Structure 1
Amino acid sequence: MTTSKPRRFTFLLLERFTMLPFSGVIEALRLANRAAGKTLYEWRLVGPQGDVAHCSNGTGMVLDAGLEDLSSFGERATPRGDQVVIVCGGIDVRKEATKPVLNWLRRQERGGAIIGAVCTGAWVLAEAGLLDDRRATIHWENHDGFAEAFPDVDLYRSVFVNDGNRITAAGGTSSIDLILHLISEDHGEALVTQIADQMLHTAIRSDQDDQRLSIPTRIGVRHPRLSEVIARMEANLEEPISPAKLAADAGMSTRQLERLFRRYLNRSPKRYYMETRLARARNLLMQTQMSMIEVALASGFSSPSHFSKCYRARYGSTPYRERGTGGA
């Protein structure tokens, strides 16, 4: 989409938003203007509080307007899709999904704006009903809770998703990949190459790239069969697979599997699997309103008492006490 008029971005900065995804997008837009030698993009910062929004790192960001004051860029009419609204989320994002915020987003959507989100901002879009039956992504740490809370959203684990007039980036540097994708659609690959070069962003990812590092990189071990077993564990948390079957499917004995885990990860396969399931349970506790029994079942525990016992052994607190201490 090559246009003679600047495309306009409105960044909705929710309290305790994550700075990196926001700064990645706005810096890419600035560099696009610089590289082109003219204003291709304009932007403003708005927030529910109207004066300052605070990042999760404590930094205050001065806003251009509150949600009630949106005159900003001038009074001239713009084509549908020329306006882009990006919700920047972070810590405790559920608390930021207030009625004024949700209603404002719905109004922007009805006005023809492209609606997007970075990091946990997708949670607010989903609360507003703007991601129903749409493709989207969210940070991997929030994926399980989001999937449970919003079953009507077609959730992906890719770094970003472009679903027409809905755009989402998972967080971190994925926002750079998303905005470079949009700039490429607007003004071509040559401009994007210049921007990426300036940002030292040497590997531009596509919407087919996964958010997380590969299993060998994450665990610091390059062993094909170990990676295969861990991948199966991560894909089967709700209904755990026995070590014997994991070993057999990987073409080894249970004893060999045990030695493999002890050698490279200093724990048994059973313990590693348990820690992975408990990590999922902790995310669900912090990010959803699921009952304890629902969290337990979703993490592969058939008994709430067994779940509570294992959870306390791992985290030093019962799931009942820990609920409410964190956010999405």
Structure 2
Amino acid sequence: MRNLKFASALGALALLAAGVATSLPVDARAPAQAAPAHPRLLPLEGGQNFRDLGGYRTRNGKTVRWGVLYRSGAMNALTANDYAYLDRIGVRTVCDFRSTAERDAAPVRWPGGQTPTIFADDYVLDMGGMDFRAAASWSAEDAKRKMAALYPHLLDQFNGQYRRMFAQLLAGNVPLAFNCSAGKDRTGVAAALILTALDVPRETAIADYLLSNRYFDPKKAMASDPSTAAWTKLPPAVVNAFMGVDRAYIEAVFKVIDTHPGGARAYLRDRLGLGDAELKQLRARYTA
């Protein structure tokens, strides 16, 4: 297989060309659909894995507030109706975790007068030493092991962006949406960190992460980036391992958090600046 350029590699993992199998398993422990008044997946024509983090129960019996915390994939395919919907629900801040190349390839053009405050960094994605030139010979298990090994690197590379996201939450600049390309990897880690900070049980956070197997649409993503045709050269099972989510991926993140001296609470304090006062403030704002 010819040498591929992966300046925006996590986006490319998710944006796959036609002809690749797209059937992904849905974990049986995934949380049930919310009541109609609070849809988990937002009713957007061009949305990609755009969902509300509300409704999850915390350890002390409170509930994450609906309508203030949104996780999403790339927003470049949103329609005029979608922008009007997001304007009605008051999206105020967007944290876009995509790389420079990803944003250049799939720019988001908010209508005049409706643009939220957008935070994004210019960078080249670090794939943690993963070499895709040999990917055609990988098995699905090889791909899963490599993805699980990659996830801890996301905690390091995006630490500054995750800190900034929490700073916006502490400042009350919500509703806030955070996204990457597929809304499953960088975004999945961010959502797990938020739910952990809000004292949502670990299994619930993992179940939310696994919902990307239900709500991420690779065909829709592919349509926004035709440059990913080279991915059709990979075995379908390998492609599915890359474009889906697996419990082992997010558990690799939680292992880093749990083995930090002092555990999860100390990780939030030391790596994200969330001490007892900040956690108390977040939980007061975003749970009820």
TM-score, normalising length: structure 2: 0.30
Larger radius of gyration: 1
TM-score, normalising length: structure 1: 0.27
- Larger relative contact order (CA 8 Å, sep ≥ 6): 2
